[in-house]
Amino acid sequence: MSTTRRRLATSSSFGGIEIELIDAGPVDGDLVVLSHGFPESSYSWRHQIEPLADAGYRVLVPDQRGYARSSAPVDVAAYRSDHLAGDLLALLDDVGADDAVFVGHDWGALLVWDLARYHPDRVRGVINVSVPYTPWPMRPTELFDATWGDRFFYMTYFQQVGPAEIELEEDVERTMRLVLWGASAEMYGPPPDPADLPPADGTGFLSAFGTRREVPEGLPDWLRPADLGVYVEQFEASGFFGPVSWYRNLDADWELTRDLPAPSMPCAFIGGDHDLVIAHRPEYVDSMNHLLDDFRGTTMIEGAGHWTQQERPEQFNAALLATLDRL
């Protein structure tokens, strides 16, 4: 298997954008692009790259804009989904591909859903993980205010530049340990009532984890100290302004996509039955059966939390390869 890590210069209205990526598998293989979420990087797909390449796929795995050692513009608007989608298309242009199957997790899934609406001719198929296709019913920040009011909600907290960066960058190792614990299957439980959440004033992203269940010391079984070390090194290099600024463009992304049709190409979904994003809201997963014209089905992985492909890699890889066959 041929695997290289390289940098790619993209054309961008913000200038000088370079994306670092992993390029693996046979050059003539069907192209698959893996799009990571927050707070992750290409390293979150470490268990998938070799199996995909061994199956004959060419796999492109970027550290997306703002992450690791890819470019991190200092303008919030640089992280709008149309610009992020342009970075993914630049990967296709670089290898001379007309289209690809895109696999997205978490924020990477949100981006792929938008990409499939912006540029349907470049997306042969979609396999998204953890975040189903769910059109916002209203402006996202207005929805947050209506749902959580004066209670803490992290996406609202992320809107202001400064507080999140200061908190998350103070001790990156602690940040990553708490976040990776906090959304894993080990922390699974009933969803909180918004009224039971702490007040927005005076509450931070990390302190909010302790309001539901005490985060254990050490690491979950699926995460080695060396894995944590990779993430720590990457976020110490990039900081959190870029990654958090993806959230600061939710309203702008909604304006850009609100009138676009739903993805029409073959789509499928993989989730974990202990993922708090979807475990208590199955109606969002089920709704794809009627929202998407060519929905090829859902695979739920038993015992997997939000970090689905990292927590249960063998089960995830089997589901991913089978879903690629269906597409």
Residue 314 has pLDDT above 90, yes or no: yes
Does residue 110 contact residue 135 with C-beta atoms inside 8 Å? no
Question: Encoding tokens for residue 212?
Answer: 């539901």
pTM for the model: 0.97
Residue 156 has pLDDT above 80, yes or no: yes
Q: Is the model more confident about 215 or about 152?
A: 152
Question: Encoding tokens for residue 302?
Answer: 């038993």
**Which residues are the active-site residues?**
106, 306
DSSP letters, 225-273, are HHHHHHHHHHHHHH-SHHHHHTGGGHHHHHHHHTTSPPP-S-EEEEEET
Domains annotated for the chain, with CATH where assigned, are 3-138+259-326 (3.40.50.1820), 140-245 (no CATH)
**Mean pLDDT of the region 222-233:** 98
Bridge partners for 7 per DSSP: 20
Question: What is the total residue count of the chain?
Answer: 327
Does residue 109 contact residue 271 with C-beta atoms inside 8 Å? no
Task: For residue 108, give the nearest of 136, 84, 140 by alpha carbon.
Answer: 84
The pLDDT assigned to 14 comes to: 82
Residues 6+ apart with CB under 8 A from 315: 301, 302, 304
**Mean pLDDT of the region 224-241:** 98
Q: What does the pLDDT look like over 242-274, one tens digit per residue?
A: 999 999 999 999 999 999 999 999 999 999 999
**Mean pLDDT of the region 23-51:** 98
Residue 192 has pLDDT above 80, yes or no: no
Place of tokens 């290898």: 95
Phi, psi torsion values for 175, nearest 5 degrees = -55, -50
The pLDDT assigned to 213 comes to: 67
**Mean pLDDT of the region 165-173:** 98
Task: For residue 47, give the nearest of 315, 269, 223, 309 by alpha carbon.
Answer: 309
Question: Encoding tokens for residue 197?
Answer: 């959440």
Q: Is the model more confident about 75 or about 16?
A: 75
DSSP letters, 19-64, are EEEEEES-TTSPEEEEE--TT--GGGGTTTHHHHHHTT-EEEEEE-
Residues 6+ apart with CB under 8 A from 297: 268, 269, 323, 326
Helix 107-118 vs helix 250-257: crossing angle, to nearest 10: 30
